[in-house]
């Protein structure tokens, strides 16, 4: 089976997704297939590594977990049955505070923090499609990093809607109430940018 064998106009579930045997990396957003770039650029990977390291160092000894893509996150609606799940995403990074959501296939349920790094070709998906899916599912915080603009947008879920803080740029430090004591220094994030 290959990705080209599928009808891209059809709506799929996680049961379909899990049965596919092709090598392409894809996500399902509202049952629609979105192809992932198989190899993110160097800057994308550098930023991902820096944030992963910051999370990892902060979470040592705590029950929370951080995962980097590829890592399937199933966003269930009314049911956790594979055939009822229409959103399967691979965030660049995610922090999960409730370890019961983690299984051998990834995460079933909402991560507490999702981080996506923009790169050429994925801006619409990250800024609109995934934004809406994460907001509708109830993800507590969604961070979007823009390497070109050297900034980070932190969206916090308030009464079921994402509210944006001001953009975090050079000389700023990002904190989150989800991880008390955690600080991400934006200067360090973008230092030595290629």
- Digit-by-digit pLDDT tens for the chain (194 residues) are 888 899 999 999 999 999 999 888 999 999 999 887 667 789 999 999 999 999 999 999 999 999 999 999 999 988 999 999 999 999 999 999 999 999 999 999 999 999 999 987 666 667 888 999 999 999 999 999 999 999 999 999 999 999 998 899 999 999 999 999 999 999 999 987 54
The count of structural domains within the chain is 1
Examine residue 185 and state whether it is found in any structural domain, yes or no: yes
Q: Where are the alpha helices (DSSP H) in the chain?
A: 14-19, 42-59, 123-124, 131-137, 186-190
Examine residue 23 and state whether it is found in any structural domain, yes or no: no
Residue 100, helix vs strand vs coil:
helix
Examine residue 1 and state whether it is found in any structural domain, yes or no: no
Number of H helices, E strands in the chain: 5, 14
Examine residue 71 and state whether it is found in any structural domain, yes or no: yes
Examine residue 134 and state whether it is found in any structural domain, yes or no: yes
Query: Is the CB of residue 113 less than 8 Å from the CB of residue 156?
Result: no
Examine residue 79 and state whether it is found in any structural domain, yes or no: yes
Query: Is the CB of residue 163 less than 8 Å from the CB of residue 140?
Result: no
Name residue 156's beta-bridge partners: 141, 163
Examine residue 151 and state whether it is found in any structural domain, yes or no: yes
Examine residue 7 and state whether it is found in any structural domain, yes or no: no
* pTM for this predicted structure: 0.93
CATH code assigned at 110: 3.90.1570.10
> Which residue range is the domain that position 162 belongs to?
39-190
């Amino acid at each position: 089976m290959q990705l080209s064998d599928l009808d891209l106009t059809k709506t799929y579930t996680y049961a379909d997704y899990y049965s596919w045997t092709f090598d392409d990396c894809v996500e399902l957003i509202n049952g629609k297939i979105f192809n992932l770039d198989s190899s993110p650029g160097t800057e994308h990977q550098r930023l991902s590594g820096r944030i992963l390291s910051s999370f990892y160092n902060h979470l040592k000894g705590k029950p929370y977990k951080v995962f980097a893509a590829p890592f399937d996150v199933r966003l269930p609606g009314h049911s956790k049955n594979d055939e009822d799940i229409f959103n399967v995403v691979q965030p660049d990074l995610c922090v999960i505070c409730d370890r019961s959501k983690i299984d051998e296939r990834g995460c079933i349920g909402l991560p507490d923090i999702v981080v996506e790094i923009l790169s050429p070709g994925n801006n619409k998906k990250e800024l609109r499609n995934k934004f809406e899916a994460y907001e509708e599912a109830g993800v507590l915080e969604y961070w979007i990093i823009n390497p070109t603009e050297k900034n980070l947008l932190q969206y916090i879920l308030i009464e079921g809607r994402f509210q944006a803080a001001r953009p975090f740029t050079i000389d700023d430090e990002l904190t989150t109430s989800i991880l008390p004591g955690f600080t991400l220094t934006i200067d360090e994030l973008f230092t030595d940018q290629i």
